[in-house]
Amino acid sequence: MLTNKNPVLKGFHPDPSILRVGDDYYLATSTFQWFPGVNLYHSRDLVNWEQLPSPLRRVSQLDMQGNPNSGGVWAPCLSYDNGTFYLIYTNVKNFHGIFKDTHNYLVTTTDLYGEWSEPIYLNSSGFDPSLFHDDDGRKYLVNMRWDHRMEKHDFAGILMQEYSVREKKLIGEIKTIYKGTEIGATEAPHLYKKDGYYYLVVAEGGTMYNHGVRLARSKELWGEYESDPTPVLTTRDNPEMYMQRTGHGSIIDTPSGKWYIAYLCARPVDGKFSILGRETCICELEWVDGWLRLKNGGVVPPESYEVDLEECKVSPLPETDYFSSGLPLHYNTLRLPLEKIGSLTDRKGFLRLYGNEAITSWNNQSMVARRLDSFKVEATAVLEFEPKTLQQMAGLSLFYDTYNFLYAYVSYDEESGQNCIRIVVRDRLKFYNPIKDYRVLIGNSKRVHLRVNVDYLRADFSYSLDGEKYEALATDLDISCLSDEAYCDIGHEGHTGTFIALCCQDLTGNKKYCDFESLTYKRLK
């Protein structure tokens, strides 16, 4: 018997879609504006997960240039039928205000380690699309419907339409099959069939602190669907729990007949700020009188879970990535693929980023990043950079999105004729520089070690020119802005998490490059 503590995928891994094929388990999670699209994992024991190549690795599959913060890939659904894997996903191009542009696509593959197909466009009526494979071989798309009318409820129920594999398009009637409960915000539908019932798993309550998972059922595919009066899981009435915002689930059974749900949670620091973003959890379920219940009883999911599967360990990630053998799978780029912003071959053993637009750009940004997945971390970047003007900069960022970030960078100080290090912070849209005298002069040094230490809601930046002695740049900086909750303070929606990012900008347009030798990431807790 294996026991594991949640979250199982730490750091920004929201909207899990779980799938079993034989003795293999797969998880897909949202990536929002980060490229490549959709994080994909494999496990044999539901405890140890190894990352697979992302399905959406080509711009032809996922064009996110100009997408807003927290746009891009929402809530993928991974499924399997007759030798083929199906992935449904949304590319959100706009969602601020009353309107949403949510374009839904399908890609397929027979080899999860290989290439996925070009996308098939499905619809744009809402987000959280999911594909159901019925026993007779017919397939159906379900997604929530968005209603922009201000006098109506914006979450307007779950739509269903048949999908034709032969015609590669949706066909036939579109019908609303479920409206949800009084909790509202009904989304994230997944259809299953068991013991003569069609079961619809949905999220409700919105993705903040009222979130939860609900089950509905019907003897007929097209409904009417009856709501379970009790949620499958939620922490909405338990603010004291370590894990909050629990919801958005999908279910699987094991070969021995046990049932599990993958769902998301957040771990807010001081009960207020989820700087790691929404993470993926797993817990065991059981069927009681035709409904799903938590194995441990109640509706509050446990902090740990057990599985009766043989352990299958995976290799841990190294502390230091040297970029000499490609970009590791746990790295992402912002909106654009790496080949659009940099190279791993232009200088052997280095990640070269070519300076593009500002760190606030939604279009052409040169940024390579990995998730923050622990509350106490030390991250150190080693870079070589020779700026010629104050408009050229490169460095290390704690990055939530273009509205909220902290950025320590090397640039050129024209007054002294020296290279310098500066820090810019954008906290809830407001900019400030926390360094006394605004910059630190470093002479002609082009090789710099930049370090950030994260300690829950505080961060310290430091630097070294020899890699041994570090000098403070700015200490005890508030990083609560790197959270979904901070967006509530400025009237926006944020749905991502904090990244450790390597950046390069050239605001002259001449694409001055920076070479990054390594990024060391040490979890201190």
3-state secondary structure 241-277: CCCEEEEEEEEEECCCCCEEEEEEEECCECCCECCCC
Q: Whole-angstrom distance between the N-terminal and C-terminal Cα of the chain? A: 26
How far apart, in whole angstroms, are the C-alpha atoms of residue 44 and residue 419? Answer: 51
Question: What pLDDT sits at residue 326?
Answer: 86
Tell me: do 193 and 338 sit in the same domain.
no
Please check whether residues 379 and 405 belong to one and the same domain: yes
Residues 196 and 50 in one domain: yes
* Rounded Cα–Cα distance for residues 201 and 215 (Å): 5
Last residue within a domain, chosen from 248, 272, 307: 307
For residue 315, is it within any domain?
no
Quick one: which of 109, 291, 287, 89 has its CA closest to 199? 291
Helix (H) / strand (E) element for 487: namely helix 484-490
Domain of residue 466, CATH code: 2.60.120.200
Domain boundary among 307, 339, 368: 307
Both 272 and 299 in one domain: the answer is: yes
Asked whether residue 80 falls in the same domain as residue 222, the answer is: yes
In one-letter notation, the amino acid at residue 281 is: C
Which token pair is 84?
């083929």
Q: Same domain, yes or no, for 177 and 137? A: yes
Last residue of a domain, one of 307, 339, 372: 307
SS3 340: helix
Which residues, listed in sequence order, are joined to residue 175 by a DSSP beta bridge?
160
Is residue 313 in a domain? no
Per-residue pLDDT at 274? 97
CATH number at residue 41: 2.115.10.20
Interacting residues of 94 by C-beta distance below 8 A, sequence separation 6+? 68, 71, 100, 101
CA-closest candidate to residue 231, choices 208, 258, 210: 210
Query: What is the structure's pLDDT at 133?
Result: 98
Does some domain include residue 134?
yes
Question: Which residues are the active-site residues?
Answer: 15, 187
Instruction: Please indicate, yes or no, if residue 312 is contained in any of the structural domains.
Output: no
**Cβ pair 330, 339 in contact under 8 A:** no
Please name the helix (run of DSSP H) or strand (run of DSSP E) that holds residue 400, with its range, or none: strand 392-401
User: The tokens 């996110």 sit on which residue?
Assistant: 64
Q: Residue 181 in 3-state DSSP?
A: coil
DSSP 56: B
Cα 268 off chain centre by:
16
Nearest to 112 by CA among 139, 74, 80, 88: 80
Asked if the structure places residue 25 within a domain, the reply is yes
Q: What per-residue confidence (pLDDT) applies to 219?
A: 98
Do 434 and 294 belong together in one domain?
A: no
Report yes or no on 218 lying in a domain. Answer: yes
Domain that holds residue 20: 2-307
Q: Cis before residue 224, ω within 30 degrees of 0?
A: yes
As separate numbers, helices (DSSP H) first and strands (DSSP E) second, the chain gives 1, 40
- Distance from chain centroid for Cα 393: 27
Distance CA 267, CA 4 (A): 17
- Residue 303 shares a structural domain with residue 447: no
The verdict on residue 190 lying in a domain is yes
- What is the tally of structural domains in the chain? 2
Q: Is 339 helix (H, G, I), strand (E, B) or coil?
A: helix
Which position has the token pair 């539908």?
Answer: 189
Q: What is the pLDDT of residue 152?
A: 76
pLDDT score at 491: 79
460 sits in which H/E element: strand 458-464
Q: Are residues 232 and 333 in the same domain?
A: no
Residue 314 lies in a domain: no
The backbone torsions φ and ψ at residue 73, rounded to the nearest 5 degrees and listed phi first, read -80, 115
Shared domain check, 326 and 274: no
Angle CA(116)–CA(122)–CA(123) in degrees, nearest 5? Answer: 140
CA–CA separation, 450 vs 382, rounded Å?
7
**What per-residue confidence (pLDDT) applies to 519?**
98
- DSSP annotation string for 493-521: ------EEEEEEEETTSS--EEEEEEEEE
Contact status, residue 173 vs residue 202, Cβ threshold 8 Å: no
Unique residue bearing structure tokens 């790295």: 331
pLDDT of residue 313: 96
Q: Would you give the DSSP letter of residue 296?
A: T
In sequence order, the 6+-apart residues with CB closer than 8 A to the CB of 213 are 201, 202, 203, 204, 231, 232, 233, 234, 246, 247, 248, 249, 261, 263
What's the CA gap between 61 and 120, in Å, rounded? 9
Q: Do residues 82 and 88 make contact, with C-beta atoms less than 8 angstroms apart?
A: no
DSSP state of 127: S
Query: Within the chain, which residues score under 50 in pLDDT?
Result: none
- Which one-letter DSSP state was computed for residue 446? -
CA atoms within 13 A on the CB side of 309: 24
Whether 114 and 243 share a structural domain: yes
Q: What is the DSSP code (8-state) at residue 15? A: S
For residue 215, give both structure tokens: 């089950």
In sequence order, the β-bridge partners of residue 379 are 452, 521
Q: Is 397 found in the same domain as 303? A: no
